[in-house]
Structure formats: structure tokens, C-alpha cells
Structure 1
Amino acid sequence: MTDWEQVREGGFAVPEGRAVPELVAELVGMLRSPDPAVRDRQAYSTLATWVGRGVLSEQELRDLGDELVPRFGDPEIQARTFVPLILDVIVSAGVFEPRWVPPFERWYVGEQDLRGYDEKLGWLHAVAHGADLLGTFGQHPAVEPVQMLRLGIGRLLTPTSYVFRDMEDDRLGYALAATLTRAELTGSDAVDWLDPAVRVLSNPPTAGIAPEVTNTVRTLRVLYLFADHGLRIGDAKKLTPIPQREQLKARLAEVFATFTPYWL
């Protein structure tokens, strides 16, 4: 076994004496660990760094993605929620397979364990980790952006008992905003995906406000901020505007008015 903590402390240099595929296989196994130090601090950090540095070949990245995608159905929550993180760095490195998108969509809208941080398991963060991949897919030319926008609102409106507390609304709001920077989106494309939110929020609560309603409103407020000011994409120094910003802001204001008429 490799001393992965030593690898981390050494700046993630590839250990000598073992082939890269063998090392990656060990790290992939560690991504299922319930120990956050093993899973997050060592396995994820090492893999993400190596992918970013080009340690793995294009085919090795494709194989890694194919190996991880079935874990969207893993019985262990920590195994499921670290798949989108690795897929995100793979796609960001320039390797994309359309077959990865449907399993992600099914998992993201269907995941029931939305805990951000767990005292024993560490960071789980299904919504936030999934949002990162949603935003990356949403900017990819081979993915239909409206498809990702609908996925985002579907995730928000799915009934849950969990109220966001670990910046999930910021991460998903950013992912939606990044997707909305796609130049090919028409005015209707940029706003029609919000129709389900209008329908849900138009029904006054009779027994308290449902968590998914709170999560939706808070996330869309984040999106409004990005629409108003623009957002930073990647390492860009300048803010990128949302092309349909005025139509989006007007529609978001309508959404808020159905639920919080005093907000705007």
C-alpha cells in the first residue's frame, strides 16, 4: 500500500516504482471509504490533482469516468457523492462522454440523502457536488443547456426534509448561472425552465413552508445576483454576463412575487 498522506505532503508527486493505472485503481477504491481523511483528503485530492496535471492519458480518463459512473447507484452515500467531483475534473480536462450524462441526471434528481457535512463521514454534499458537475455539463457544447437548467430546478423542487445549510444554494445558483451564459440560449430558453417553480410557489403553504420551497427560493435569489452582476467563469479575471440577463431577472422577480411579494 502507498502512503498517500506522504504523497499529499510531498505535493502529490507520482510515487515511483508502481504503474499509474495501479495507483489510480487504489485511489478509486479509496473513494468509497467512510473515512473522510482517506476519501477526501487523500483519494479525491490526489486524483483531482493528477487529472489537472495531465498525469492520466485521455483513454485513462475515459476509463476512469466509465468506472465511476455506476457508483451513482452505490448503496453508500459517500461513494455516490464523490463521483460527480471526479467526473467534473475529467470533463474540465477535456474528456467527455455523452453516456455519462443520463446516469448523473437520474442520480441528481433522485438522491434522497442531501446532508452536507456529517460528523463521521465528513463532507457528503450531494447537492453541491452535483451542482459542480451540472455547471460543467451545462457549459459543454455537447450538452443541451436547457436540459441542465431543467435538471437544476427538478433537483430543487423534489420534496425533501433537508434545508440547505452548507452553501448548497450558492453552488447550485452558480451552476445555473454558468449554464445560462451559453450564447445559443434564446429568451424563452433562459426563462421557461422556471415555470415549475411558479406552479409550486403559487400554492400558499398550509402547514409550514416545505424545505424544498425554502431551498428553491434561496437558490434562485443567488441566481438573481449573478444575473444582475455577472459571474466569474474558471480563472477569468473579468465577470461574464448572462446574455438574457434582463429577461431572466424579470422572470425571477415574477417567481419571487408569487411567494415573497415584499422582496422586490
Structure 2
Amino acid sequence: MLATTLESYLGDKILELSKEVRQEMLTQIGNPDGFLRDELIYRSFGKMIVSNQLNPEEFQSLLEVVLQEDYLFYGIGESGTDSVFTRSFSALVIAAVIEYDIEKQIVNPDLVQYTVNKVIRYMREEKDTRGFIQGNGWAHAIAHGADTLDALAKHPLLKKEDISRILHAVQYSLLRQVDYLDEEEERLAIILVSLIKHQDAEKVIQVWIEELAGMVETEMLENKGSLDAYHVQRTVKNFLKSVFVILSSKGIGKKVNSDVFKVLEKWMWMYLN
């Protein structure tokens, strides 16, 4: 039984997983059982990756598989169905692979670029924005997609022209009319921090912040009294608050934070006595 095998593996009673078990993990990656999917399968993938239990060919093959239509794009466009678990946890495995590859650089540069393209497409096409689902655990597709973009934002092989593409994917997630409930905005904010720290992208992000704020203000002006427009502004406001706090805590991105503060000061009810 898969669950028993993975419990033994995570408890260090089994040192390595067979190819058959790894294949079963892939088959069950989107199992609606939250414990099996999250606590056993995903954690086992993570342990397998960081413990050097995959040779370079197997490592790349794992990434190639979870990027496929039957994984990252399985049932894409659906909302409210169990297919979200396959997509979302495929995204998490991609993030784990890319995070590990930041230092190891096992993945072929062409595959890194392919991954960038696929993940950006995923963030635009994912329609299921549920966070925690009672009885099934975390779906969190937008947050997991954000984690994957964050990993790519830190990768040394990321191309300069892909910085703006990642920012546009973040923008798309923020401007869609969704009331995020489970800190998706915070996960998206971390991407900007990584781009500043690892890609020297502060100037690009300053321009992007200005554009983002302008788009929100135009939406508010053209749709006065609209609850949808208000919710978009609230989402972006929460996002900018997260950016401000994280950058402040790390002592980086001071120019971006100055711009962010100006937007927040303008949008928030601030009474200075």
C-alpha cells in the first residue's frame, strides 16, 4: 500500500523508493485525500529531491513529467472539481525541483526556459482559486503557482526578458476579480522580493508598480461604487502591504518600498494627528 510505504520512507525505515513506488506517487499526485497527497506524496517527493536520490536523468525526467498536460494542466479551466489537486501539487513538485536546481544546476537551460513558459501559462489559465477545502485539505493552486514562480525568480538561468513576463503573471493573478482568503497575495509578494534580490530587478519593478496602481485607479474611476473594483483594489492593497513588510524586514528594495508606501498612503485612510 502506497501510504504505508511512504510513511516508512518518511520515518527513515526505508532508505529509497523504487521506480514503481515513484510512478505510483505520480499517478496519485492529485489524490483528493489531503493526508496522502500533502503529507505523504508531496513530502516524499521533497525528501527524494533534496536527498540526492535521483540521478540527473531522473531529476530532469521528473520535471518534464509534471509539466505535461496530464499534470500541471490536467483539467485546466475547471473550477470546483478535484482536478485542481493534480495541477496544484504538480506545481509544488516543479517548485521543489527548481529550488534544488538553483544551486545544483542539473536542469538543461532549455528545460528551465520551457518551465518558465509553462508556469506562466499555468498562472493565466488556472481558474480554481480555492484555498483550503473542507474534507480534502489544501488546493491553493494560485499560491502553489506563486511558489513556483518564486523559485524561477531565484534561478540563475532566468532570462532578463522573463522578469516582465513573470510580473505580468503576478499582475493577472491580482487583477482577476477574486476574494483571496488564504494569503495568496503574500505568496505573490514574495516573487517581487526574489526578483529584486536575485535578478537586480528593482527598476523594472518600480515601473511595474506604477502601472499596476494606475490600472487599479482607472478601474475604480470607471466603475465607481462597483464592489468588484473595490475588491480588486483590496487585493492589490494587501499584496503591496506584504511587499512593504517583507522588503523592510530584509533591508532591500528601498526604492520599490518608497513607491509602494506612496501608493498605500494614497489608498488607505490615514489620519495623521
Once the two structures are TM-superposed, the CA of residue 254 in structure 1 deviates from its matched residue by: 3.2
Q: Which residue of 2 aligns with 1:58?
A: 56
Q: Which runs of 5+ in 1 are unaligned?
A: 231-240
**Counterparts of 2:25 and 2:213 in 1: how far apart (Å)?**
44
Of stretches 176-185 and 134-143 in structure 1, the one that deviates more from structure 2 is: 176-185
Give the paired residue count.
246
Residue type of the alignment partner of 1:175: I
**Is 2:240 the partner of 1:224?**
no
Corresponding position: 1:73 with 2:92 = no
Distance of aligned partners of 1:141 and 1:263 in 2 relative to their CA distance in 1, 3 Å threshold:
farther
How much does 1:14 deviate?
3.5
Report SS of the residue matched to 2:22.
helix
- Show the counterpart of 1:251: 259
2:176 paired with 1:175: no
Q: 2:173 aligned with 1:155, yes or no? A: yes
1:238 maps to: none
- Structure 1 length-normalised TM: 0.84
Q: 1:202 offset after TM fit, Å? A: 1.1
Distance 1:111-1:12 versus aligned 2 partners, 3 A rule: farther
* Equivalence for 1:10: 11
| Per-residue deviation, residues 62-81 of structure 1 (Å, max 9, x unmatched) | 11111111222211111111
User: Cα distance 1:60–1:207, how it changes in 2: closer, same or farther (>3 A)?
Assistant: same
Question: Are the counterparts in 1 of residues 216 and 232 from structure 2 also a CA contact under 8 Å?
Answer: no
**Amino-acid identity (%):** 19
Question: Equivalences for 1:82-101 in 2 at 5 Å?
Answer: 82-94=89-101, 95-96=106-107, 97=111, 98-101=113-116
- The AA in structure 2 aligned to 1:57 is N
Contact 1:69 1:83 in 2 (8 A): yes
Give, in whole Å, the separation in 2 of the partners of 1:159 and 1:6.
Answer: 40
- Contact 1:197–1:255, Cα closer than 8 Å, also in 2: no
Q: Judging changes above 3 Å, is the alpha-carbon distance between structure 1 residues 118 and 73 closer, same or farther for their aligned structure 2 residues?
A: same
- C-alpha RMSD over aligned residues: 2.3
Aligned equivalents of 1:8 and 1:210: distance in 2?
48
- Give the deviation of 1:210 after TM superposition: 4.1
Q: Secondary structure at the match of 2:197?
A: coil
1:104 alignment partner, one of 119, 135, 151: 119
Q: CA deviation at 1:175?
A: 2.5
Q: Contact 1:138/1:179 (CA < 8 Å) preserved in 2? A: yes
CA contact (8 A) 2:29 2:89 kept: yes
Report the equivalent of 1:43.
Answer: 41
Give me the TM-score of the superposition, normalised by structure 2.
0.81
Kept after mapping to 1: 8 A contact 2:7/2:40:
no
Q: Which residue of 2 aligns with 1:126?
A: 141
- Match of 2:29? 31
Secondary structure of 1:93 counterpart:
helix
SS, match of residue 166 in structure 1: coil
Deviation for aligned residue 1:172: 1.9
* Structure 1 contact 174–223 (Cα < 8 Å) conserved: yes
Matched, 1:21 2:19: yes
Deviation for aligned residue 1:27: 0.7
Q: Which runs of 5+ in 2 are unaligned?
A: 76-82
